[in-house]
């Protein structure tokens, strides 16, 4: 495996950063996870824009132009002969001291890894996931903006550990208000009916979510298919009584959820709206 490391390709075994890098010491950096379909990175420019916004928000100056970074991503896929795969792009603040002072850091590091990834087994896409609610609460957006896709994922990891201990692959995370935020690594949608109206429902940005690129793709597809969408606060009760539920993320793509906290969602099987959106999403990735 060839890893892109600040301008050069090195073998996996030699892909190293300094122990004084603030990315290693403090999780001080930003990243993107992207999917490649048929040799083309899906929504590459959108990922670049989010990366640049994240870096700007925490005052890291990325040492490449956006076009140079895109070319480096493509070159990494080519160097590893990967057409259907996953790309992890990391930008650290660079080498500093043992102190917290960011202004003492120099030479931000750019690391690009291309590999194959199967986040969930195929049968989960066919039969649906079971998830549980984590006791770990999503970080308050007033503390650190969830729109910063930073390397510090301890909040998500602690929730993921709870899921592992409960025997499930993913967990639901609530915000400090007790509302649904997102899962440990994915955004969440439900298909529900209120009175005579059925619609797609997903938590808004104000709930403390990372506004995922796959999430936005689903919203765009829903608009194209004239599927009504509501972005508003959501509770676990809303999910319990929903007809369908699914998660979205670059690695997960679009995966159905059929049970939350031991309660069947809808029929307990992936629903027709979920299948319709998944089919259209898959078509979109092949363009």
Q: Tell me the catalytic residues.
A: 149
- Pick left, alpha or beta for residue 107 (phi over 0 → left; psi -120 to 50 → alpha; otherwise beta): left
DSSP class per residue in the chain: -EEEETTEEEEGGG----TTBHHHHH--EEEEEEEEETTEETTHHHHHHHHHHHHHHTT---SS-HHHHHHHHHHHHHHTT-SSEEEEEEEE--B--SSS-GGG-BS-EEEEEEE---SS-HHHHHH-EEEEE-SSPPPPTTTS-TTS-BS--HHHHHHHHHHHHHT-SEEEEE-TTS-EEEESSSEEEEEEEETTEEEEEE--GGGT----HHHHHHHHHHHHTT--EEES---HHHHHT-SEEEEEETTTEEEEEEEETTEEPTTSS--HHHHHHHHHHHHHHT-
Neighbours of 1 (CB within 10 A): 15
């Amino acid at each position: 495996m060839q890893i892109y490391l600040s301008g050069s390709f090195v073998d996996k075994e030699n892909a190293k950063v300094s122990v004084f890098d603030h990315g290693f010491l403090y999780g001080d950096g930003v990243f993107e996870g992207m999917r490649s379909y048929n040799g083309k990175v899906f929504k590459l420019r959108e990922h670049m824009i989010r990366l640049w916004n994240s870096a700007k928000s925490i005052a890291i100056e990325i040492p490449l132009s956006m076009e140079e970074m895109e070319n480096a991503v493509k070159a990494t896929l080519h160097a590893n002969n990967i057409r259907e795969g996953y790309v992890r792009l990391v930008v650290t603040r660079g080498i500093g001291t043992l102190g917290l002072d960011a202004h003492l850091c120099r030479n931000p590091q750019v690391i690009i890894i291309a590999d194959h990834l199967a986040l969930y087994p195929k049968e989960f896409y066919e039969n649906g996931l079971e998830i549980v609610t984590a006791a770990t609460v999503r970080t308050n957006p007033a503390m650190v903006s969830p729109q910063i896709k930073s390397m510090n994922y301890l909040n998500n990891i602690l929730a993921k550990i709870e899921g592992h201990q409960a025997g499930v692959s993913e967990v639901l995370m609530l915000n400090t208000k007790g509302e649904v935020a997102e899962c440990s690594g994915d955004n969440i949608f439900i298909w529900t009916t209120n009175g005579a109206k059925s619609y797609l429902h997903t938590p808004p940005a104000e709930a403390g979510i990372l506004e995922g690129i796959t999430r936005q793709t689903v919203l765009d597809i829903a608009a194209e298919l004239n599927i009504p969408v509501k972005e508003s606060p959501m509770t676990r009760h809303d999910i319990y009584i929903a007809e369908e539920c699914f998660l979205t993320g670059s690695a997960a793509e679009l995966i159905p959820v059929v049970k939350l906290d031991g309660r069947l969602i809808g029929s307990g099987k992936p629903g027709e709206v979920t299948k319709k959106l998944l089919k259209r999403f898959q078509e979109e990735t092949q363009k």
